[in-house]
Amino acid sequence: MFDETMKLGGLNVQLCYYRGFNEFEYSAWCASSEQLHKIMHQVYCVAGHTQVVRLLQHAYVQSQQEPVNALVFIGDCLEENVDTLCQRAGELALYGVPVFIFQEGNDEHAQAAFQEIASLTHGAYAQFDASSASQLRDLLSAVAVYAAGGRIALQQFQQKRGRTILSLPSSSPASSNIT
């Protein structure tokens, strides 16, 4: 992600995660892969319910403080109220924050909600499986390029790769911060 966006002015990423009972954490903004890797290596899993609404709320608060050009969520399931999630997604859309959701697996309930969130925010939704690390890497790079350089930069990135990696809705706003 960072390599692909360097010539576009760089990228700032904030890692957010939830786990266990009501634990939601977020990092400082990272401008390099080294910083982000250091933080990611400190994260570990603990069973608990999803807290996507807290992530959306956090992105909303961040977007009021400084521009957030994209939010990326990677998950597999969802236990939260879809109406509440869509309300938060609508609030993000008012601030021009597209949500890009990459779902591991095929939980149909989660898929429907994730697609709705992406649609409301003019983001995108894609599925991947545990064996497709390269697909996830390409998706994250595409979002990073979009966040740093907008729709035109994403089109150039995909032309360079020789394929469409991430499809955006035609009404998606142009956009170097990612939550």
In this prediction the pTM is 0.84
Distance in angstroms (rounded) separating the CA atoms of residues 174 and 151 = 6
Burial label for 97, CB within 10 Å (0-12, 13-18, 19+), is buried
The DSSP bridge partners found for residue 128 are: 104
pLDDT tops 60 at residue 172:
no
- The whole-number average pLDDT for the span 149-165 is 89
Output the pLDDT for position 57.
97
| Average pLDDT of span 150-164 | 89
User: pLDDT per residue over 77-88, tens digit each?
Assistant: 999 999 999 999
* Predicted local confidence at residue 1, as pLDDT: 58
Query: What are 14-71's pLDDT values in tens digits?
Result: 999 999 999 999 999 988 888 888 988 999 899 999 999 999 999 999 999 988 989 9
What the block records as the tokens of 61 is: 């608060």
Band (pLDDT 50/70/90 cuts) for residue 139 is confident
Mean pLDDT of the chain, nearest integer: 87
- The full DSSP string for 91-118 is HHHHTT--EEEEEES--HHHHHHHHHHH
In whole angstroms, give the CA distance from residue 79 to residue 113.
10
pLDDT at 174: 44
pLDDT at res. 4: 59
